[in-house]
Amino acid sequence: MPSPHRVVIVAFPGIELLDATGPAEVFSVATRVAGPGRPGYQVQIATPDGAPVATSAGVRLMADLSFAEVAGPIDTLLVSGAIDLVDGVVEPVIDRAVTEWLRQAAPRAGRTGSICAGAHLLAAAGLLDGRPATTHWLTAGRLAAEHPAVRVDADPIFIRDGRVWTCAGVTSGLDMALAMVAEDHGRELALGTARMMVMYVKRSGGQSQFSVPLSVQSSAAEEGERRNGDRIDELRRWIAEHPAEDLSLEALSARTHLSTRHLTRLFHQRTATTPAAYVEATRLEAARRLLADTGRSLPEVAAASGLGSVETLHRVFRRRLGTTPAEYRRRF
């Protein structure tokens, strides 16, 4: 029987626990579902010195080997991520020992992947230059700013570019691992693994990693700005709950008792986007949910999401997602 597929997961102090254990569990369950007579997976946790590491959850993760002990070929090399909260700002952790080792180890790996902020480590090692990549949406802007050679896309659950994979927030590591199982052993084993883990297997790579309300940032600082921010946040919630209503700037202005100019300024201050752009994004998200979760016709989806017509539905999907509503429905 062929040797098991070797998976080496890189861990270091402060990583998100699920970054390492999530993919490890997927590969372990896939091996059990495959049963005897099929090679399955051998998962190893590697740390810089071979010592256990404390994760962000406070749980200590045991190591199988140190970086120096990772000899021979690696079928899949995965890098966990870590984030810190510094003065209210999310900062990806860059461990220099990890990035230096990755430069040497990645060339002998069949494929290399990152989970969550692990993409920042791959980028720091120069392994994402010229490639599309994703990471947790909270640090995607930082990744793009610090590594302009990387084509950062903050939306997908995961991205595969040749033998390099990147994925979004922590739970997306399970989705990426399932996709790897499908690539290695076929979709049936991936489906069996998902069923065993009670996972929602339909989340394929191109699905959005965040909802519209999560994608905006608050910039309020002073008490007056906070009060205005609360007013804008209430308006955003109402927009999300009523996508088919009249959401023109004039209607929103009347609802908030603000002039259109003042509303636009406050909205941009609070969300870094315009009311019109936010409305369209909210309606697009509503359309995506209807396409994925219901059997409604395209005219019904267009009406219920507030996009109005099938023509507008197609235009927004093409411009924002690069696909058609029908193709999106087939995928998800």
Are 171 and 220 in the same domain? no
Are 246 and 291 in the same domain? yes
Full pLDDT tens readout for the chain, 332 residues: 678 999 999 999 999 999 999 999 999 999 999 998 889 999 999 999 999 999 999 999 999 999 999 999 999 999 999 999 888 788 999 999 999 999 999 999 999 999 999 999 999 999 999 999 999 988 988 999 999 999 998 878 899 999 999 999 888 999 999 999 999 999 889 989 998 998 865 455 555 655 565 555 443 333 344 455 578 989 998 998 999 999 999 999 999 999 999 999 999 888 878 999 999 989 998 998 899 889 999 999 999 999 999 999 999 998 888 889 998 888 76
Residue 23 β-bridge partners = none
Residue 78 β-bridge partners = 9, 113
Nearest Cα to 176, choosing from 5, 22, 37, 4? 22
Q: Which two tokens stand for residue 66?
A: 């140190």
Range of the domain at 19: 5-197
Tally of domains in the chain:
2
Q: Do the domain assignments include residue 133?
A: yes
End-of-domain residue from the set 162, 197, 232: 197
236 vs 223: CA distance, rounded Å? 20
Q: Which two tokens stand for residue 242?
A: 């009523």
Are 85 and 139 in the same domain? yes
Are 178 and 256 in the same domain? no
332 vs 320: CA distance, rounded Å? 17
End-of-domain residue from the set 174, 197, 220: 197
Q: Do the domain assignments include residue 257?
A: yes
**Cα dihedral 230, 236, 237, 243 in deg (nearest 10):** 160
Are 135 and 253 in the same domain? no
Length of the chain: 332
Looking up residue 316, the CATH number of its domain turns out to be: 1.10.10.60
End-of-domain residue from the set 139, 162, 197: 197
Q: Do the domain assignments include residue 256?
A: yes
| 200 Cβ contact list (under 8 Å, min separation 6) | 194
Tokens 């267009």 correspond to what residue?
A: 302
Q: Which two tokens stand for residue 76?
A: 């899949």
Return the ∠ at Cα 123 (arms to 118 and 127), rounded to 5°. 105
Looking up residue 33, the CATH number of its domain turns out to be: 3.40.50.880
Contact between 174 and 184 (Cβ < 8 Å): no
